[in-house]
Amino acid sequence: MSQHLQTAWSGDRINLHRGDELVDSVGANEILRVIFVYRDQGQNPGDMNYAVVELANEHLIFPATTGFAGRVLFEHQAFWDRRACVYWVSEQHATLPGRLRGGWFLRRQAPAYARLPRTELDPLLERWPLQGPQTWEQRKWERIQRSRPFADMNAQPTGHGTVPEARKRRA
């Protein structure tokens, strides 16, 4: 049982496996919202700490070690772009119930995989300062725009569905 949990996209389902054993499965179209909780600035895929997946009646928590960000988000960006349901929050602002927090105060670990009733996490999620909806690609372009010399300090985030002009010219 020492094998790690891994996610995989299969048809219209996102499956969670431990080795060859199917542990859990969720229909991709059942997902209402995905919240990626990141470390540091969230600029690199390695900064992803865990994902909270919101369904109609429950939340699923996928630690980064499951590969949810890579196999589910990055490999299927067009799906998530159409859905406009991906949000981001720094781990500094993402409070979870004590029983889900691993590690100790100065060295927190990502929570383990879990299914929780919406009533348990909804009150906490309402207080998280979410960024989005935006895909990883949209987030990256917004970061590039902000980093340009003399960037307009009052510029609005690109948000869902917008593509910077430089990218439109290349397409």
Q: Are strands 86-90 and 33-38 parallel, antiparallel or unpaired?
A: parallel
pLDDT at 150: 67
**How does pLDDT run across 23-52, given as a tens digit for each residue?**
999 999 999 999 999 887 666 667 788 999
Q: Does residue 8 surpass a pLDDT of 70?
A: yes
Confidence of residue 108 (pLDDT cuts 50, 70, 90): low
**H or E element that contains 124:** helix 118-125
Cα–Cα distances (Å) from 37 to 12, 111, 150, 163, in that order, read 24, 11, 30, 24
| Residue where the block lists tokens 């987030």 | 139
Higher pLDDT: 161 or 143? It is: 143
74 neighbors 86 (Cβ within 8 angstroms): no
Residue owning tokens 């917008």: 162
Contact by Cβ (8 Å): 34, 86: yes
Q: Calculate the average pLDDT of the chain.
A: 81
Q: List C-alpha distances in Å: 100 to 28, 87, 108.
A: 24, 21, 11
Could you give phi then psi for residue 104, rounded to 5 degrees? -120, 175
Percent of the chain with pLDDT over 90: 43
- State the pLDDT at residue 169: 41
Tell me the pLDDT band of 118, cut-offs 50, 70 and 90: very high
* Rounded mean pLDDT, 91-106: 74
Q: Taking 90 as the threshold, does the pLDDT of residue 168 lie above it?
A: no
Q: Which tokens go with 44?
A: 């690199």
